[in-house]
Amino acid sequence: MNRTAFAITATLLCLPLVACGGQASETSGEATQPDSNMERLLGQYTSVPLTTDLSVLTDQERQMLPLLIEAADVMNVLFWHQSYGESAELMSTLEDPAAQQYAAINFGPWDRIADNDPFLDGYGPKPAGANLYPADITKEEFEAATEAAPESADDLRGLYTLVRRDDDGNLTTTPYSEAYAEELQTVAANLRAAAELAEDQGLRRYLELRADALLSNDYQASDMAWMDMKTNTIDLVIGPIETYEDQLYGYKAGFEAFLLIKDQDWSQRLAKYAALLPALQRGLPVADEYKSEEPGTDSELNAYDVIYVAGDADAGSKTIAINLPNDPQVQLEKGARRLQLKNAMRAKFDGILVPIGNLLIAEDQRQLVSFDAFFANTMFHEVAHGLGIKNTIDGQGTVRQAMQEQASALEEGKADVLGLYMVTELLEQGELEGTELEQHLVTFTASIFRSIRFGAASAHGVANLVRFNFFQEAGAFERDEATGTYRVDFQATLEAIAALSERILVMQGDGDYAGAVDFVDQYGRLGPVLQQDLDRLSSAGIPVDIVFEQGMDVLEGGR
């Protein structure tokens, strides 16, 4: 491993914000004069400590935490390589602590909540393929290479390969397990050491198989083992997982990690909803051929506190729920696990969503913005990833392959609207208690503004912008010009949910890449009035997102 890069990355990612929610912190030593623009950029994030009740852990589980945090830290190093290159090369050029901190948040010089525009002088646009492909690669070159050498096409498109050029300019691939062999050996050793301490046999088996997977580039067995875990309190998501960083094709997975502590009581309350998934699939508002796949019946809904995040998961805007594994075969055989990150969710609700609602939602509807509705909307968003189909209906292959770089935004948009469809169905069936439909619809509308602020570089940001424009066109809400607030039309919103659900499911099932490009181009535009309202949120000092204070020191201090 490049120990210098590791040390620099880990140190920067654990620093408290130089500016947080507009509050500047003191720095020691003879720091250079802070860059006011960098402090403004940092002010878009508010800092949240990641703590939980450690008394739920056994002594041996407590001993596992430092090993797992060390393993997670390596994901920071690897994602720096995938996003930019050597972190030390960039950090050594920055004297301003605020600039260093903002580069650490973004894993490079491009602003992830500002459409990946460079925030440092001397940098051009971010390559669409980040550092996963040659920086100047074109789609034409890539497609020509797959056609010229069909035997290499699967490797070129593979989730776990880097694409490079050889000395003759030909495109070649290197498996992650080879490109990052030294770093992954370190991670595997930590996972095996933690496995020896694991008292839960399911967790022990998963950690052992995940260690093997990191070194073999074959993750399916460990994904199956992860789904088989049922009684573990500690959970770890680690490895190359999501494809958001690859905005050239959406083929390549980025390294990340989540270290989690399960809330057993909340998880038991949520367990019943997973069993309803097959029936909800059959009721989707789309023709039968677009819901022909039967989702796995081993799916789970669980609630967690997240205590450590690294790599892709810690870059820019932070997730508040996870739906994994992504492997279509595992999903069809085993289902999926939907992980609700309660402490991160609560932080975003209190610090961001409530202030947005108070500014942009009509005054007489603001009381409908509720945490319970936000939690349920988020939960069923993750469940909805398992609805629809994973393979195109005409044999083109998987939806992800057919939709290329449009896949992530379209999938997030699908999950959003189908999540609301599930809420309406469950409320009608009496399966969802404690909230009213109107709370879900207003809370969902307020959250659209929250997620649009993640920008066009984020699949979630694009999905929410598309939905805002689609819903507005359908009359789901109206804007009062005098107050600059939005009033939700409940019936029109329900009709818009059904219409958008069908539109996305058909595009996915048909593998209609050209249609998806046109759809996103039509509805993914940020109009001047919406931009004005987003600017009002910034002027009011409402953060765009959160950054984490994390590590054993934070955990021990918060126990």
pLDDT for position 19: 35
Instruction: Output phi, psi for 324, to 5 deg.
Output: -145, 165
φ, ψ for residue 133 (rounded to 5)?
Answer: -135, 170
d(CA 206, CA 170): 38
The SS3 call for residue 190 is helix
Query: Which pLDDT score, from 0 to 100, does residue 245 have?
Result: 97
* Spatial contact of 382 and 77, defined as CB atoms under 8 Å apart: no
Model confidence at 294, pLDDT cuts 50, 70, 90, reads confident
DSSP for residue 361: B
Residue 272 near residue 302, CB atoms below 8 Å: no
**Between these two residues, 300 and 123, which has the higher pLDDT value?**
123
| Residue 32 pLDDT class (50, 70, 90 cuts) | very low
- Express as a percent the part of the chain with pLDDT over 70: 92
Contacts of 342 (CB under 8 A, 6+ apart): 263, 266, 303, 304, 305, 375
What residue has token string 């589980």? 61
Taking a C-beta distance cutoff of 8 angstroms, is the pair 88, 8 a contact?
Answer: yes
Predicted confidence band of residue 558 (pLDDT cuts 50, 70, 90)? low
Whether the Cβ atoms of residue 109 and residue 118 lie closer than 8 Å to each other: yes
Q: Is the pLDDT of residue 465 over 70?
A: yes
Contacts of 400 (CB under 8 A, 6+ apart): 243, 250, 328, 390, 407, 411
Beta-carbon contacts of 333 under 8 Å, excluding residues fewer than 6 positions away, are 224, 296
- 8 A C-beta contact, residue 71 and residue 257: yes
Distance CA 101, CA 98 (A): 5
Chain position carrying tokens 């804007």? 479
Within a 10 A sphere around the Cβ of 350, how many other Cβ atoms?
12
Question: Model confidence over 94-146: pLDDT tens digits?
Answer: 999 999 999 999 999 999 999 999 999 999 999 999 999 999 999 999 999 99
Tell me the pLDDT tens digit for each residue of 256-272. Answer: 999 999 998 878 877 77
Residues 528-543 have a mean pLDDT of: 94
How many C-beta atoms lie closer than 10 Å to residue 166's C-beta? 8
Look at residue 522 and tell me whether its pLDDT is greater than 90. Answer: yes
475/489 Cα distance (integer angstroms): 7
Quick one: what percent of the chain has pLDDT higher than 90? Answer: 74
By the 10 Å C-beta count (0-12 exposed, 13-18 middle, 19+ buried), 297 is classed as exposed
Q: Identify the pLDDT of residue 337.
A: 86
- Indicate the SS3 state at residue 169: coil
Domains and CATH numbers, the chain: 181-558 (3.30.540.30)
- pLDDT tens column, 301-356: 889 999 999 999 999 999 988 889 999 889 888 888 889 999 999 999 999 999 99
Contact 512, 435 (CB under 8 A): no
- Judged against a pLDDT cut of 50, whether residue 480 lies above it is answered with yes
Over residues 485-510, the mean pLDDT reads 95
What pLDDT sits at residue 296?
59
Higher pLDDT, 79 or 458: 79
Residue with tokens 């219409």: 499
pLDDT in tens, 180-216: 999 999 999 999 999 999 999 999 999 999 999 999 9
366, 357 contact by CB (below 8 A): yes
Residue 30 predicted with pLDDT over 70: no
Q: What is the spatial distance between Cα 449 and Cα 458, in angstroms, rounded to a whole number?
A: 14
- Residue type at 370? S
Give the integer Cα–Cα distance in Å for 75 and 66.
Answer: 15
Contact 142, 171 (CB under 8 A): yes
Of the candidate ranges 219-223, 405-409, 479-483, the one whose mean pLDDT is the lowest = 405-409
pLDDT band at 13 (very low <50, low <70, confident <90, very high): very low
> Are 211 and 194 spatial neighbours (Cβ–Cβ below 8 Å)?
no
Characterize the bridge pairing of strands 110-111 and 45-49. Answer: unpaired
- Residue bearing the bigger pLDDT, 273 or 26: 273
pLDDT band at 254 (very low <50, low <70, confident <90, very high): very high
Kindly state the average pLDDT of the residues 277-291.
Answer: 87
Q: Residue 485 — φ and ψ, nearest 5°?
A: -115, 160
Burial category of 444 from C-beta neighbours within 10 Å (exposed 0-12, middle 13-18, buried 19 and up): buried
CA 536 – CA 469 distance, rounded (Å): 19
How far apart are the C-alpha atoms of 102 and 205, rounded to whole Å? 38
Tell me how far apart the alpha carbons of residues 144 and 147 are, in angstroms, rounded to a whole number: 5
For 19: left if phi > 0, alpha if psi spans -120 to 50, otherwise beta; the answer is: beta
Check if the beta carbon of residue 442 is closer than 8 Å to that of residue 485: no
Alpha helices in 157-200 (DSSP H): 176-179, 181-197
Region 268-282: mean pLDDT is 79
Q: Do 292 and 392 meet the contact criterion of CB atoms below 8 Å apart?
A: no
Torsion of CA 71, 76, 82, 86, to 10 degrees: -110
**Residue-wise pLDDT tens digits, 358-409:** 999 999 999 999 999 998 898 888 778 878 888 999 887 899 889 999 998 8
pLDDT at 50 over 50: yes
Are 236 and 68 within 8 A, CB to CB?
yes
At residue 550, the 3 state secondary structure works out as coil
Asked whether residue 36 carries a pLDDT value surpassing 90, the answer given is: no
State residue 553's pLDDT score: 93
Residue type, 201: Q
Give pTM, 2 decimals. 0.81
Residue 437: predicted pLDDT: 96
| Residue whose token pair is 């573990």 | 232
pLDDT reading at 493 higher than 70: yes
| d(C-alpha 536, C-alpha 161), whole Å | 43
Helix (H) or strand (E) holding 39: helix 36-42
Q: Is the pLDDT of residue 16 over 70?
A: no
Average pLDDT, the chain: 90
Average pLDDT of the residues in 45-49: 95
The Cα–Cα gap between 237 and 210 comes to: 10
pLDDT of residue 156: 97
